[in-house]
């Protein structure tokens, strides 16, 4: 069970920023900082893809309402990434069944993703964009710091991840009203864009008037 704390921490981090987790583990494994990272995460194509997607998320995650659209798309991607990374870590270690590790990593990623997405909806009720930027930077730095810490102190990192997860779920409960308000605003913006798109479509030309009366 020695790899379990690392699986749990990677699952929490994947729910916040899955591409950062893959990129960090891959770099740590490729540079020899840890032997826990499987070869599949150290491949050059995986690192390049994770790096490009991380940069895309770094931009989208700091724009109000664009971050919520990005989160909705990643409702499936982040838990799947957490499950895959957990299974790969377990397969490399051999101390935990891969199916169990995938379930732990995926479920933890799903919970932390809900915390992230819900918090962003609440923050989007604020008219200024600086809170989005500050929160996104804090998430990125937090994921990088905790994943790095987990490589050297997996048990302590897992405890911190558990505390952050519980605290995030508690905050989500208290922000429920703001989250509903943010969800309504996001839905309203989508409807306004849809109506604007419909209004810009060219109308069909009217039939020519031949001068005759129709009864």
- State how far the alpha carbon of 137 is from the alpha carbons of 19, 83, 132, in Å: 15, 25, 9
Tens-place pLDDT, residues 70-80: 998 999 999 99
What is the pTM for the complete model shown? 0.80
- The whole-number pLDDT of residue 184 equals 73
Element (H, E) at 148: helix 130-152
* Average pLDDT score, the chain: 85
Give the chain's radius of gyration (CA, Å). Answer: 22
The closest of 156, 79, 147 to 116, measured between CA atoms, is 79
Averaged pLDDT, 49-68: 91
Distance CA 6, CA 152 (A): 10
| pLDDT band at residue 214 using 50, 70 and 90 as cut-offs | very low
Tens-place pLDDT, residues 183-212: 677 667 767 766 676 666 555 555 555 555
How many of the other CB atoms lie within 10 Å of CB of 43?
Answer: 14
Asked if residue 122 has pLDDT above 90, the reply is: no
- The whole-number pLDDT of residue 215 equals 40
Between 175 and 163, the higher pLDDT residue = 163
């Amino acid at each position: 069970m020695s790899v379990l704390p690392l699986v749990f921490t990677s699952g929490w981090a994947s729910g916040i920023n899955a591409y950062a987790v893959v990129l960090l583990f891959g770099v740590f494994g490729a540079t020899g900082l840890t032997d826990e990272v499987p070869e599949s995460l150290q491949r050059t194509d995986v690192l390049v893809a994770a790096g490009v997607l991380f940069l895309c998320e770094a931009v989208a995650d700091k724009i109000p309402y664009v971050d919520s659209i990005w989160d909705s798309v990643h409702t499936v991607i982040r838990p799947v990434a957490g499950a895959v990374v957990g299974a790969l870590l377990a397969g490399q270690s051999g101390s935990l069944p891969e199916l169990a590790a995938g379930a732990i990593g995926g479920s933890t990623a799903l919970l932390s993703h809900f915390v992230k997405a819900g918090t962003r909806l609440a923050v989007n009720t604020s008219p200024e964009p600086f809170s989005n930027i500050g929160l996104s930077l804090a998430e990125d730095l937090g994921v990088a710091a905790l994943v790095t810490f987990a490589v050297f102190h997996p048990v302590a990192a897992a405890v911190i991840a558990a505390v952050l997860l519980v605290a995030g779920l508690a905050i989500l409960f208290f922000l429920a009203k703001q989250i509903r308000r943010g969800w309504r605003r996001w839905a309203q913006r989508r409807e306004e864009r849809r109506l604007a798109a419909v209004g810009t479509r060219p109308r069909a030309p009217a039939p020519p008037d031949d001068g005759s009366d129709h009864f």
